[in-house]
Amino acid sequence: MSLIGQPLDALDTPQLLLDLDVIDANLKRMFDAGKQRGVNVRTHFKSLKCGGLAQYIKARGGPTFLSAKLNEAEVLADAGIDDILIANQIVSPLKFQRIANLAKRVTLRLCVDQMDNVDQLSKAMHAAGATLGVLIEIDIGMARCGIPPGEAAIPMAQRIHKSPGLRFDGLQGYDGHLQLIADASERKAKCVQGLEQLVGTRRFIEKAGVPVPIVTGAGTGTWEFVAGFPGVTEIQPGSFILMDCIYNAVRPEFGCALSILSTVLSVRPKWYNLDAGSKAISKDFGSPIIKGKPEEKATRFSEEHTKVECDPVPVKIGDHREVIPAHCCATMNLHRQCLGVRRGKVETVWPIEASGRYD
């Protein structure tokens, strides 16, 4: 039986729901702000992993995407997205042919932070007759990947600039360590410090004679401090589209579109259990909440159960609840399909092609 047109109370559970009206409002807010501030908004696909959703976003004014992994970039290309940044390093030569194949299909860019990797990628792309855009990742404080900001980036930019098969496209500096700082003025002050280092690195490279067309960074927590900062051309948030209860506390202007529809399995005097647990709701960032029911607290999780404490218990067996997870990206990674819903009815069913993959 087709799910299209079904009301939510007729659905089997657990089921991953995406509220399309909320997504539309989140997209409009971010894309309008990007236009006003003169920056490109590149959407992070690691938060989505779903080709149908990427097409939906492209149709609403967001044609450029980034991904964390090569498989996500391949899913994007299959969905008809033709401007993709892999915001990460790929060092295994076993993946170079896949990169070359993709670079022949779409405008593809990749981050680097090592000279050896630059040389190997150049050799592989040149041999395959492909051209790959390359951004140097600058570590502006997250201490994950990237080279330090400053003059050290000049020789790497010059090397990429003259490497066959590669095109030097600019710099990426992502401030992941700042995204969830609760105090907005502290988040902003730290963010601006990192941006000054990033833009300062741009100036060093340009002074050395190499153009720097793209400077990209930011996530949902820092987007508004980065968008419009002089010298930054692009922001790259992802969570703002689906959101979760942790990000919503920091960025209430974006609504929570993602929820897990679940059924009450058992009822006791001071709690009830839902039929969705840690296999359906990621809890790596903390506890989920029950949508619209602040007095009902999710307190314990097993693989297939969530215990919800409340007094009195306002549900009976078979009732539905929607659970808003603490981490939208990791929750999308647990499911094989999502249902786009509007005003209580299923409008579309999308496979989540890149879920469960890490290649």
236 lies in the binding site for ligand PLP (CB under 6 A):
yes
Site for ligand PLP in 92-131 (CB under 6 A): none
Nearest approach, Cβ of residue 85 and ligand PLP (Å): 9
Q: Which of 239, 331, 324, 254 is nearest to 45 (CA)?
A: 239
63 lies in the binding site for ligand PLP (CB under 6 A):
no
In the complex with ligand PLP, which residue's Cβ is closer, 133 or 165? Answer: 133
Rounded Cα distance, 197 and 232, in Å: 11
Of 118-126, 185-193, 236-244, 269-277, the window that binds ligand PLP (rule: CB under 6 A) is 236-244
331 lies in the binding site for ligand PLP (CB under 6 A):
no
Among 15, 64, 201, 220, binds ligand PLP (CB under 6 A): 220
Among 62, 219, 277, 325, binds ligand PLP (CB under 6 A): 219
Of 112-120, 173-181, 257-265, 266-274, the window that binds ligand PLP (rule: CB under 6 A) is 173-181
Of 30-38, 188-196, 235-243, 318-326, the window that binds ligand PLP (rule: CB under 6 A) is 235-243
In the complex with ligand PLP, which residue's Cβ is closer, 43 or 306? Answer: 43
Of 48-56, 93-101, 231-239, 262-270, the window that binds ligand PLP (rule: CB under 6 A) is 231-239
In the complex with ligand PLP, which residue's Cβ is closer, 19 or 72? Answer: 72
Contact 117, 266 (CB under 8 A): no
In the complex with ligand PLP, which residue's Cβ is closer, 90 or 308? Answer: 90
Rounded Cα distance, 35 and 37, in Å: 5
Nearest approach, Cβ of residue 218 and ligand PLP (Å): 7
Of 97-105, 233-241, 260-268, 280-288, the window that binds ligand PLP (rule: CB under 6 A) is 233-241
Among 23, 44, 133, 324, binds ligand PLP (CB under 6 A): 44
Among 76, 87, 102, 264, binds ligand PLP (CB under 6 A): 87
Which tokens sit at 37?
């501030």
Among 63, 176, 200, 351, binds ligand PLP (CB under 6 A): 176
In the complex, the residues that contact ligand PLP under the rule CB under 6 A are 44, 47, 87, 174, 176, 179, 219-220, 236-240
